[in-house]
Amino acid sequence: MSADTPDIGFIGLGIMGTPMAGHLLAAGHKACVHTRSAVPESIRAAGATVCAHGREVAQRSDVVFLMLPDTPDVQQVLFGDDGVAAGLAPGKTVVDMSSISPVQTKTFARRVEALGCDYLDAPVSGGDVGARNATLSIMVGGKPEVFERIRPLLALMGRNITRVGGVGDGQTCKVANQIVVALTIGAVSEGLLFAARAGADPARVRQALLGGLATSRVLEILGERMLQRSVQPGFRIALHQKDLNLALESARALGLALPATAVAQQLFSACVAHGGSAWDHSGMVRALEQLSGFAIPEQPAA
């Protein structure tokens, strides 16, 4: 290992993790990888070493990245049989880029730090497009000196990289992000549905809105998916529901009212009831279409 090119471990090679790990490999880092399903051929072809479990990844790496679906997955990968913790040695670093519970994150960090290692929580926003283009927004919690040391690696996967605060604060920021994204999906859905039902061309309405105060990445990327009637993820509704559950559970504990978040969660639940748990989260529009008895006509791809 050198200070400039630490050996990397990457666990979780799904829609997001595969391109993220690919960027690290393309930058010249040795990488050991592990995932529940088959390792993508693109990762093998880039020279990654496939490991049997998290313990082996940790043993062979200086920095271990995690990109997993939910809190129990992170707990199992870190502390289960043949987990990452069993392969850690003092001086190594764990960077969890999953979107999970801020409370559990602090517990995980304490257990890793007790082994003489460092821990960052670094959830991301930007979806599959941001992962492929290395333009993710990365929200980091952890010690400033650890953040600065790991930042060059994060910069290979994203652009807007912000240390929000201590361990767990990155996850809190991500929950806030998911509230805003879910509510924006609802707003874009209602706006395009209204325009189409009123007889306007929703594609031209979207184009006009992109030039004004209503513009957003949700309108740009997910609005196009709504118009093309595509539910190919992206970011699955089931995962966004998980994030909103974290928001609503935390809100109850904090004594907060988040009524719009609760409505967004119910719209996602309506999609799931129609078989849409694996739809892209832009599929929320279909729940509103069901309520209205009207669907936005499919638009040709741009």
Residues recognised as catalytic: 174
Going 137 to 138 to 139 to 144, the CA torsion angle's sign is: negative
3-state secondary structure of 121: strand
Contact 286, 274 (CB under 8 A): yes
CA angle 246, 250, 256 (to 5 degrees): 130
> Residue 259 class from Cβ within 10 Å (0-12 exposed, 13-18 middle, 19+ buried)?
exposed
SS (H, E, C) 135-179: CEEEEEECCHHHHHHHHHHHCCCEEEEEEEECCCHHHHHHHHHHH
Beta-strand runs (E) in the chain:
8-11, 31-34, 49-50, 63-66, 93-96, 118-121, 124-125, 136-141, 158-165
DSSP string, 230-265: ----SSBHHHHHHHHHHHHHHHHHHT---HHHHHHH
* Strand 31-34, strand 49-50: pairing: parallel
β partners of residue 138 = 124, 161
Closest CA to 137 of 125, 149, 153: 125
| Tokens found for residue 282 | 């832009």
How far is residue 10's CA from residue 8's CA, in Å, rounded to a whole number? 7
